[in-house]
């Protein structure tokens, strides 16, 4: 019988891929767990918890390690540093793991990785860290203080301070460092899905804002849930589900999904337009376009066509009843789900995004029929990628006008701003999961009969 792998070894392997190969944490973790199907659910959950915990708190962990280490972190072998970070997370953040056990596991992992010459160093650093304890003096400067307190890069905190003030920035930092709920979008009757989940021993409840949203708590990976395996639900955050409600596609509509991958919103749109309608899904990257195609085919949606193409130059001259631009963005509204992005994104990259977003909007504008709908959406909290992009587009294309989302009585209508935009600022932080939302933005524009000047 093949022995189940140590969850800490799995976590080290995933973190190494994230750090050195720029892998996405969720994809790397999923790939490792698939190779070990007999791994107990409790161990799988621990491996995931360790991976995401280290990534959420990496800057704070590194400050602790720098204080405990006799050499600069930049001089430590990358694999040894990953092992140290994992053990430090357990010592600093996990009450159920005795410090001595975390130190012992780290030393053994160092030896398993054929880095035995570093085992004494690992042992000394972690024992120093254990003696120093979790307390850390915080800087007086607001951005540096919030960055270290909540595990966020200072440059991101500075943006939030500029736009939302100290209270708003703290709220966003707290949201970025939380452990997010797992959300499903049910494809069918939500009450029946909830009853089934509970009968299978899964703690679950209805979302407060999206009509098909369900939150779940269980040990294991969401893809292993029978509802998901059978295609009766997909893993999708509640705030993400609201974008389709802003678009509000009707049966029979032709819709262009200009930046479709990974395809979750494509599914929602295809289900709403029905067999009498159609969806053309674009993505710039061929492998991501293939992923969208596999998803829609696997779920039995023949009314979707998928093309690898640049949305800034759509490969069609036809006009559509509606166009969705789920734009490439900084992702600062979903950092709790993609914590590796905190340490991968740079301020310079984010400054370039509004130009790309504007090019995509200009590229698809003529694909919207007169009277049709254009929705621009992001999962970021920065005005430069949201309101300012829309303002520049409307100045150039006055035949488009902002239109408030159509369902004024929907539970999510409370998130519609005075300008008519949907903005989900993280809600319910520190409360029960059903109230928590990621940070999304969506603007619904209608093309009038006016000509483009």
Tell me which residues are annotated as active site: 379
Q: How far apart are CA 422 and CA 277, in angstroms?
A: 26
Q: How far apart are CA 91 and CA 443, in angstroms?
A: 45
- Which strands, in side-by-side order, build the sheet including 213-217? 203-206, 213-217, 182-186, 233-235
Specify burial of residue 38 (Cβ count, 10 A radius: 0-12, 13-18, 19+): exposed
Q: Specify whether the CB–CB gap between 311 and 367 falls below 8 A.
A: no
Phi and psi angles of residue 129, each rounded to the nearest 5 degrees, phi first? -60, -45
Question: Within 13 Å and on the Cβ side, how many CA atoms surround 450?
Answer: 12
Q: Residue 238 has which token pair? A: 């509640």
Question: Within 13 Å and on the Cβ side, how many CA atoms surround 39?
Answer: 24
Which residue, 447, 449, 280, is CA-closest to 373? 447
Q: Residue 150 has which token pair? A: 């909540």
């Amino acid at each position: 019988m093949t022995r189940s792998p140590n969850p800490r070894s799995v976590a080290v392997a995933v973190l190494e891929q994230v750090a050195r190969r720029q892998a996405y944490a969720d994809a790397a973790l999923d790939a490792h767990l698939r190779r070990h199907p007999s791994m107990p659910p409790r161990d799988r959950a621990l491996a995931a918890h360790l991976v995401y915990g280290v990534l959420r708190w990496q800057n704070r962990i590194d400050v602790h390690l720098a204080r405990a280490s006799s050499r600069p972190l930049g001089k430590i072998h990358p694999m040894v540093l990953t092992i140290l970070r994992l053990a430090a997370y357990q010592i600093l953040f996990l009450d159920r793991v005795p410090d001595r056990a975390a130190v012992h596991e780290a030393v053994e992992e160092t030896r398993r990785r054929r880095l035995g010459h570093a085992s004494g160093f690992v042992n000394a650093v972690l024992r120093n860290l254990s003696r120093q304890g979790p307390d850390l003096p915080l800087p007086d400067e607001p951005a540096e203080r919030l960055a270290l307190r909540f595990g966020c890069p200072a440059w991101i905190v500075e943006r939030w301070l500029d736009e939302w003030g100290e209270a708003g920035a703290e709220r966003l930092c707290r949201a970025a460092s939380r452990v997010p709920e797992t959300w499903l979008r049910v494809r069918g009757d939500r009450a029946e899905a909830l009853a089934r989940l509970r009968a299978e021993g899964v703690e679950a409840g209805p979302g407060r804002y999206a009509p098909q949203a369900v939150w779940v708590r269980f040990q294991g990976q969401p893809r292993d849930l029978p509802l998901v395996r059978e295609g009766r639900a997909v893993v999708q955050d509640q705030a993400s589900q609201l974008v389709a409600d802003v678009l509000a596609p009707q049966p029979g509509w032709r819709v262009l999904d200009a930046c479709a991958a990974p395809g979750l919103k494509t599914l929602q749109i295809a289900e709403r337009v029905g067999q009498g309608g159609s969806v053309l899904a674009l993505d710039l990257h061929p492998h991501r376009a293939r992923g969208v195609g596999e998803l829609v085919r696997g779920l039995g949606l023949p009314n979707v066509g998928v093309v690898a193409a640049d949305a800034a130059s759509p490969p069609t001259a036809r006009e559509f009843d509606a166009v969705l631009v789920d734009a490439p963005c900084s992702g600062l509204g979903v950092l709790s789900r993609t914590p590796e992005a905190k340490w991968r994104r740079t301020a310079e990259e984010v400054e370039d995004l509004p130009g790309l977003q504007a090019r995509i909007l200009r590229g698809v504008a003529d694909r919207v029929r007169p009277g049709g709908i254009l929705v621009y959406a992001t999962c970021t909290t920065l005005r430069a990628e949201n309101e300012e992009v829309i303002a520049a587009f409307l100045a150039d294309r006055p035949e488009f006008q902002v239109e408030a989302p159509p369902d004024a009585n929907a539970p999510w209508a409370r998130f519609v701003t005075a300008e008519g935009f949907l903005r989900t600022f993280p809600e319910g932080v520190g409360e029960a999961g059903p109230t928590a939302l990621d940070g999304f933005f969506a603007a619904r524009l209608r093309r009038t009969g006016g000509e483009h000047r």
